[in-house]
Structure 1
Amino acid sequence: MTDSKKSMTIAIAWCLAWGKGRQPQFPLPLLQEMREALLNETEIPGEVAGIVAEVRRLEAIPEDYFPETIAQLQDKYPDLWHQDTKIGLVYGGATKIKQYVFESAKIQDVRGASALLDQINLIDLPAFFGLEPTVCDIYPDARQEARNWCQQVRQWLDKCLLENESEPKLSEVLIPELIIYSTGGNILAFCPAAFVDDLANAIEKRYTERTLTANSCAVGEKFRLLELRFGLLNDDNKLWLDWYLRQDVHTNPIVESYFGSSRDKQTKKKKNVEQLTQAFQERKNFNELAGKLAGLFQQRRNGNDGLGVNRSSRCYPPMYETHPYLIRDENEYRCAVIREDKLPGKPYLSESLRCKRIMGDKAKKEQESQWCRDTELDLDWEPGFVESWVSKFKQFLQDSGLWQDYYLGIPENRVIEAKRLEEIGKASRSEQIFPKKKLLKYSITSSNGFVGYISADVNNMGGYIQKQIKTPQEYQEFSQDVLQVMESSVYTALAKHLNPRKLENLTEPESINRNGRIVHPFEILAIGGDDVLLIVPADKALEIAQTIGSEFEKQLAEVRNGVYALPKTHDDKSVHRYQGENIKPSRCKLSMSVGVLITDYKTPIYYAERLYEQLLKSAKKQAKDLKDSYNYYGGTVDILTMKSVTMISSKVKEFREEGLTKKIRGSELRRYAAPYTLYELSGLIEAVKALKVSDFPRSQLYQIRSLLVQGKRTTILNYRYFRTRLKEREQRNILQKYFEEPWCQAKTNEGNIAPWMFREKVYETIWQDLVDLYPFSDETDMASTNKKSVTTEANS
């Protein structure tokens, strides 16, 4: 029996054995004995053996069994049908997360808000169930700190909800196996039926008490035992497969909105009986219960109390006074409660902003930041246990054997965490800091004060869950697999493309005294659910984004004997506009779309957030379109290099359509080619590096870019004239090998239409991106060799 299957067996048996009321129908020690017996696969106590047998009969139902009528189900499993003890299911988490995280303009406050939500999602809520976090081995004291904090959380849980001393404490009701998933963002968990509302209220209260201003929502419902396998069972037992197959039913628009269209998506013909049966079966499983909770979640989130819900209303959000003569804090414009004289600038802080600032320092392991302890303000709030992403990254380096490759001989205790965006954008890769500088992965250049925002999201996750995930066990395994692979992909990309960097030329008052320090040149703001958000130096942003996407597909396809892998016969090579070498088809059913924004570190975070979210949506739309048109399952990346804040005053899509698109003689000319597939992005990176290695004059790059606005034929003619005038043969060969041949091949002959490429009446070009990315490329070539090898290969 696998761990996840054993966990779900214990969870369901625990809820059934507890019974219908708030007092357990069996003594609590007996329930614990049952749990231990199931964990260790020993003899089950006789009093609860019948309950465990029922759970195992439920799990033993064949996967391909599905009754045509409700009567068949009643006749085949009468004991399960008549089990009247219901099982509680609770779903909840934070809402309007971006509004809470990005309402501040400073990175330390954004970091603190993100860390606070991560603490609740990954530590506090699992602690409700007695589950303690896995702590990195490189910090031995952290394990005890985490244990103490989880104990405080459980004490808080019992204290805030205990209304009757004769009733069991909620921490005694909940056990670790009840959690289906809690991997960041939301939690889904079983619960004894009588405590559904208590647990939902505790989840909402925890978010409010810890953050003060973040929105949250939690809902719960009670379900019959057989509903865990066959979805919602109607009270009158009439609405089943035989009902759905009726002509007047499955063609009804309301029914179609629930079970899917009655016509085949590809052929547009009416579905046959087999297809209709499959559509019904795909809906009637545990997924339907999760879908009902999602609907209740949306209702409560919108302020609707719902019918028959005996809980406090959520339609009245907390209000903050707006007296005109009160002093406001520096970021959120709420009433300030204190002025912190020990912080740079002596800022005024509101209570919620103070919590974020404390968590931001705690997440960076700033032991010297004692301002929060020395404050005169006496608030009953402490940061608790926080594990920084850098700590997890160090653990990954140690476990994967990449420690030496990353540090290159620098003592680990000399490298600190970057605190501000200026430190990421201006950190220099000075070779003098590396005892083993010969092993450097790159040449010594700088990001010139620019940073790269990388926002990633898993494609078609909802569709995959709807069609492939049908049981609580599969939900649990899927969430764990995605989170582990996502974290590993990010850490792999950072370790592959980055090394510690030295701080130089810092000018901001908060950072100027850190000149000369060595830092980890990245900031991870979030990894959880299906989202990733990090900030890296601009010169490595594209490579890190490309590696995250490719590693996610590669690693996920290898999980659990290839459960997420595509058939080896799958081929989607024709989708790529870049026709270089070693084109490989997609190998994973899930992939990631990524939005990459390269901009000055001074760009306001809230403004950058709006842009990279638009890029991410554009990349996801491209992934969906390519999947529908070419059956492409791989990842996509949309990029934008913004040299000034005033460059875009509207949406990215409008900027491209109005400023970079021109229609001539029935053809559409686009002076951009984004979004890219992951393979296309690797070709773009190669082209930029090849130009940089050959010392291609930047003025000539700009000159070619200026020709793009003159139309297709004029541009091609001027490009060829310009190309023949290049004095260096090496530069002509670089253009041919890395730009013209792989990107600009003609469709009807062996020539090329450089600088354009053609697809479906649309002419596009990557030249705009080549020019924009040129300053941020280092001088290493595509095969990690030196400049001479690239030149020789291009001239051959």
Structure 2
Amino acid sequence: MNHENDEREVPRRVSFLVDAVRELEQLDKPENFPKSLDSLKKLIEKHSILWQSKIGLVYGGVTKIEQYLFEESKLPYIRGASGLLDRINLIDLPAFFNVIPKSDRHDYTIQCGKTKKWLNASFPNQPNLTDALIPEQIIYSTGGNILAFCPAAFVDDLANAIEKRYTEETLIANSCAVGETFRVIETRLGLLQDNIAETFWLEKYQKEYQNTIIEACFGKIDNLSEIENIFKKHKSFNELTTKLVIRLNQRRSGNESGDRPTRRYPPMFETHPYLRRDEAEKHSAIAHISELTGQPYLSETLIRKIGVGDRAKTGIPETPPWYKYYQDKGLKWEAGIIESSLDKFEDFLVKNSEQSQAYYGNNDNRKKEIKIPESLTQLSKVSNGYVAYIYADGNNIGSFIQNIRTPEEYQQFSQDVENATKYAVYQALAYNLQPRKIKGISEAQSKIKDGDLIHPFEIITIGGDDILLIVPADKSLQIAKMIGKQFENILLDGVPISGVEIKGQYKVREKLLYPDKFHRFRKTIPEHYQCELSMSIGVLITAYNTPIYYAKELVTELLRSAKKYARLLKYTDILTNEEITYYGGTVDFFTMKSGTMISSGIGEFRKQTLTIDKLKLYAAPYTLPELDKFLISLQALQKTEFPKPQLYQIRSFLERGRRTASLNYYYFRDRLNKGQDTLKANFEDTWCTAKTNKGNIAPWMCNIEEEIYETIWQEMVDLFYLIEFSDTKSQQALQQYINP
């Protein structure tokens, strides 16, 4: 656009449109919000175009992601499933809107052109769908979901296209999309009645705010001075998205959606009892691939997963010979360009030299030799046979969204959270891991041999505020802690990242007073500002041969436990009677050294086995500051060179009672040859000080509110030989970075 035209007079034939748009933008300011029904009517009469014009809004994406990701438990298939879903969500759906991703690694022009051709052929219209859609209509497309505007006439076709794209590309992944048309003015003022005089507006709300139905919609009001602000927050763009979410849940459940095709019958492939099934034992096999490790029998769904996984692993867009053979037999599907999570991680390192040096270290000149593990077995070979699953999810996201009033704020919020999530993971991996040499490989057909360097992690998914990683057990808690801390630091704009700008405001307005009230250790933490958003994280440390689907169930339980703990971190100030909330992150972790250790769930195991009368033989979940102190205590315990039999003996005495356990702990601690002072300072004085006197009650800590005693000793012993720490100099540099 020629900016010289900006100062020219607007042509008369479009001036009324420009005036209406300017009036619409002014509604973003609270003082311009129509405070009465009469004011609303006058606004509509003045700019009738805002009332008469309609715009479409479409929301949808993939559902039951885990069912698709973990249908087959081998790492290459999971990697492929994740890569394919990412390609659809981040490349294909934006291509509907004529978006061509910018990448230093790939040119997506041809691939996006094919996607647009598919869209126009699948949904022939005049004009074509791609002619009616533009990049600016996308509000967000990440985390497996898309929210976008579109012309009102194309709402159903676009929603159908989203569902069809997922089904045609994955064959079996569930997806759902819904759309609705709204008046343009509703994007700023929320839902309005066709007869504007019947619209429920501020005057009526002020009279009937105590009505049970109205309370269910707007919430209960304790302070009448806030009634106007509460109404304004509710009557916004957020009301439109809420309606779409409700409609999406209805469609997911199989309800009718007007003239659209039903979702009552999800994708399913029949299998014949006398035909060979694929490796997932769910679909009929159509191919026997002798060139792949294990010579697997594959169905078409697994062929697509393994094809995408192989492309994500190698980064080579060429079609492998075995796939070309089946293409000649009639298999026409193409994986397209697949940019793996590792590619994105390496791009991050290229732009951030400090993190690149931390990760590659002395291996900087051997980057091309570093390989990607082909299985969990190989990943475990760099961590004593144990791996860790890290599953993270954002806290307070829903409540924060409730205060978002405009599509622009939605777009900004989505981008900020995506950046914070993604770069928190990349930084945690870069600062806590390095390429490692693999040892003990006995797989004859493996392309990775003893002594090869591998990237010691697997990013299953990073989308929106969700994270699922597999990492070496020995650095798992350090990685989890840094993800949680950096997510908050990035949103608070306290961590510089090349090319990234955080536009939203996420700082809690007032400093957190008396932060020690939320943590169980006895070290003082200074008053500080909090981030309104944080991460809850579940960490499962387990043997490599634990089935992935089972590990995923357990780490999900740990995540729920951490989120539940985060919701409980509140107290009421006695002087002001104000409820003080702790917004920081939480972590729950569990060490499972054998697959038969737990017969039900972790919560039930803790209740039945690790809780005796008023003694809890564990202390998880933890706040992030508590996890930091826990790791310091564990490191102090390792430095004492506690004899292994005594470690386990103290642990076994925990269930015999508080006094017996304490007596044995002090007896063995006094007999240590070195490290007594370190252990006392970083374990006893940190966790085990008595609440009613100046003494210690090691290895216990007293929880007065719940009237129980709990201990971190059990968890420290479980991790004693699993968690490793970097040298002191590296740790100090890292602490300085994450605590600027």
* Pairwise same-fold verdict (TM > 0.5): yes
Which secondary structure state, in structure 1, belongs to the residue aligned with residue 569 of structure 2? helix
Out of 67, 75, 81, the position equivalent to 1:99 is 67
What are the residue-to-residue correspondences of 1:765-776 with 2, within 5 Å?
Answer: 765-776=711-722
Aligned length: 704
Is 1:89–1:190's contact at 8 Å kept on the other side of the alignment? yes
Any conservation in 1 of the 2:35–2:202 contact (CA below 8 Å)? yes
Matched, 1:64 2:31: yes
Any residues of structure 2 matched to 1:217-256 within 5 Å, and which? 217-237=176-196, 238=198, 239-246=200-207, 249-256=208-215
The equivalent of 1:371 in structure 2 is 322
8 Å CA contact retained: 2:59, 2:177: yes
Question: What letter is aligned with 2:91?
Answer: I
1:196, 1:220 within 8 Å by CA — same for their partners in 2? yes
Over residues 709-745 of structure 1, what are the superposed CA-to-partner deviations in whole Å (9 max), with x where a residue is unaligned?
A: 0112222223223323x141x2322320111000111
Among residues 274, 277, 293, which one is paired with 2:228 in the alignment? 277
- Kindly indicate whether residue 377 of structure 2 is the aligned counterpart of residue 422 of structure 1: yes
Tell me, yes or no, if the aligned pair for 1:557 and 1:565 is still in contact at 8 Å.
Answer: yes
User: 2:598 aligned with 1:648, yes or no?
Assistant: yes
Q: Distance in 2 between matches of 1:212 and 1:416?
A: 30
Rounded to whole Å, the distance in 1 between the matches of 2:140 and 2:5 is: 22
Alignment of 1:366-445 (within 5 A): 367=316, 369-375=320-326, 377-401=329-353, 402-410=355-363, 411=365, 412-427=367-382
Shift in Å, 1:71: 1.8
The 5 A counterparts of 1:749-760 are 749-759=693-703, 760=705
Answer whether contact 1:757 1:764 (CA < 8 A) is retained: yes
The DSSP-based 3-state class of the residue aligned with 1:223 is strand
Q: Is the 8 A contact 2:54 2:184 kept in 1?
A: yes
2:508 is equivalent to residue 566 of structure 1: yes
Cα distance in 2, alignment partners of residues 710 and 133 from structure 1: 62
Alignment gaps of 5+ in structure 2: 494-500, 573-579, 733-740
CA distance in 1, matches of 2:308, 2:5: 40
- 1:129 match: 97
What is the aligned partner in structure 2 of residue 525 from structure 1? Answer: 460
- Residues 1:288 and 2:243 aligned together: no
Equivalent position of 1:78 in the other structure: 45
- Structure 1 equivalent of residue 561 of structure 2: 618
Contact 2:511 2:529 in 1 (8 A): no
Q: Which residue of 415, 431, 453 maps to 2:389? A: 453
Amino acid at match of 2:240: L
Is residue 142–residue 464 contact of structure 2 (8 Å, CA) maintained in 1? Answer: yes
**Which residue of 1 is the match for residue 684 of structure 2?**
740
User: Could you say what secondary structure the match of 2:414 adopts?
Assistant: helix
Partner of 1:109: 77
**AA at the equivalent of 2:439:** E
Contact 1:112–1:361, Cα closer than 8 Å, also in 2: yes
Structure 1 contact 459–620 (Cα < 8 Å) conserved: yes
Offset at residue 659 of structure 1 (A): 0.8
Residues 687-702 of structure 1 correspond to what in structure 2 (within 5 A)? 687-702=633-648
Whole-angstrom CA distance in 2 between matches of 1:739 and 1:509: 47
SS at the partner of 2:437? Answer: strand
Contact 2:236 2:406 in 1 (8 A): yes
1:323 Cα offset (Å): 2.2
Question: Is residue 2:520 matched to residue 1:577?
Answer: yes
Please give the alpha-carbon distance, in whole angstroms, between the structure 1 residues aligned to 2:6 and 2:678. Answer: 66
SS of residue in 1 equivalent to 2:564: helix
Residue 496 of structure 2 corresponds to none
CA gap of 1:609–1:552, structure 2 versus 1, over 3 A, is same
State the 1:185 CA deviation.
1.3
Q: Distance in 2 between matches of 1:450 and 1:40?
A: 65
Cα distance in 1 between the residues matched to 2:92 and 2:731: 48
Amino acid at match of 1:504: K
Q: 1:203 to 1:254 in 2, by over 3 A?
A: same
Match of residue 22 from structure 1: none
Corresponding residue for 2:576?
A: none
CA contact (8 A) 2:642 2:672 kept: no
1:691 deviation in Å? 2.0
Shift, 1:582, TM fit: 5.3
When residues 300 and 245 of structure 1 are mapped into structure 2, their CA distance, relative to the original with a 3 A threshold, is: same
User: Deviation per CA, 1:232-266, whole angstroms, max 9, x where unpaired?
Assistant: 012333311222222xx43333222211124x3xx
Distance 1:348 1:557 in 2: 50
Q: Check the 8 A contact 2:510/2:529 in 1, yes or no.
A: no
CA contact (8 A) 2:26 2:32 kept: no
CA contact (8 A) 1:74 1:81 kept: no
The equivalent of 1:353 in structure 2 is 302
Deviations 1:484-534 (A, max 9, x none): 111111111111011111111123455375322211111111111210111
The more displaced of 627-636 and 585-594 is 627-636
The superposition leaves residues 609-651 of structure 1 with CA deviations (integer Å, 9 ceiling, x where unpaired) of: 0000000000011111114675111000000111000111111
Q: How far does the alpha carbon of each residue in 1:194-226 deviate from its partner, in whole angstroms, 9 at most, with x for none?
A: 011111011010000000000001111111121
The DSSP-based 3-state class of the residue aligned with 1:617 is: helix
* Identical amino acids, percent of aligned pairs: 49
Q: Distance in 2 between matches of 1:203 and 1:568?
A: 43
C-alpha spacing 1:653/1:201, structure 2 compared with 1 (3 Å):
same
> Displacement of 1:407 after TM fit?
1.5
| SS of corresponding position for 2:429 | helix
| Contact 1:689-1:782 within 8 A present in 2 as well | no
The equivalent of 2:418 in structure 1 is 483
Contact 1:573 1:585 in 2 (8 A): no
Pick one of 444, 462, 481 that aligns with 2:398. 462
Does the CA contact (< 8 Å) of 2:58 and 2:178 recur in 1?
yes
- Does the CA contact (< 8 Å) of 1:573 and 1:584 recur in 2? no
| Partner Cα separation in structure 2 for residue 220 and residue 673 of structure 1 | 47
Unaligned runs of 5+ residues in structure 1 are 1-35, 265-270, 428-446, 787-796
Structure 1 residues 259, 607: closer, same or farther in 2, change over 3 A?
A: same
Letter of the 1:101 counterpart: L
CA contact (8 A) 2:174 2:267 kept: no
Answer yes or no: is the 8 Å Cα contact 2:511–2:530 preserved in 1.
Answer: no
Letter of the aligned partner of 1:284 in structure 2? K
Write the deviation string for residues 112-146 of structure 1: whole angstroms up to 9, x where unpaired. Answer: 111111111111101110112232x3x3xx1x2x2
TM-score, normalised to structure 2, is 0.91
Q: Tell me the distance in 2 between the aligned counterparts of 1:526 and 1:123.
A: 16
Moved more, 591-600 or 507-516: 507-516
Counterpart in 1 of 2:441?
506
Contact 1:690 1:781 in 2 (8 A): no
Question: Which residue in the other structure is 1:674 paired with?
Answer: 620
Find the aligned partners of 1:188 and 1:628 in 2 and give their Cα distance: 37
Q: Partners in 2 of 1:64 and 1:365 — Cα distance?
A: 56
Shift in Å at residue 184 of structure 1?
2.3
In structure 1, give the amino acid aligned to 2:35.
E
How far off is 1:423 after superposition?
2.2
RMSD of aligned Cα (Å): 2.2
Whichever residue aligns with residue 91 of structure 1, its letter is Y
- In the TM superposition, what are the counterparts of 1:110-189 in structure 2 within 5 Å? 110-135=78-103, 137=104, 139=105, 142=106, 144=107, 146-162=108-124, 164=125, 167-189=126-148
For residues 37 and 673 of structure 1, do their structure 2 counterparts lie closer, same or farther at Cα, with a shift above 3 Å needed? farther
